[in-house]
Amino acid sequence: MTQLLGDGKGIFVGASRSYSAGRRPFGVVLSDLNGDNLDDAVVSDSELGEIRLFINKGGALSVTQTLKVGQQLRGMGVADFNGDGRADVVVTDSADDKVVVLIGKCH
């Protein structure tokens, strides 16, 4: 995964940063996962059946957690599914025909 920072006017500035996102990254969603008003990233790996949580540290991302959630991950999204004001992650697994919801605990 490569991160490019924008200047807010449609121009990318500075050097890009690369991060390991697994063997076969399939999708990425952005959301404030820890309540600091910065967009964090969740990346799914379709080959390993894992998601990786990247927390935004003010421009640089840091992998904080890798979770095995299925076999062949396809779709992914972030929303507050249980109404507690925190971001939750939902992932579809086509190998097991299931939807996995991970309830967020940060804030």
Contact assessment for residue 49 and residue 71, using Cβ atoms and an 8 Å cutoff: yes
Selection from 55, 80, 53 nearest residue 68 by Cα: 53
3-state helix, strand, coil in the chain (%, to 5): 0, 55, 45
pLDDT by position in tens, the chain (length 107): 888 888 889 998 888 888 888 888 888 999 999 999 999 999 999 889 999 999 999 888 988 899 999 999 989 999 999 999 999 999 999 988 999 999 988 76
Q: Token pair of 73, please?
A: 């991950």
CA distance 76 to 46: 11
Q: Give me the pLDDT at residue 25, please.
A: 86
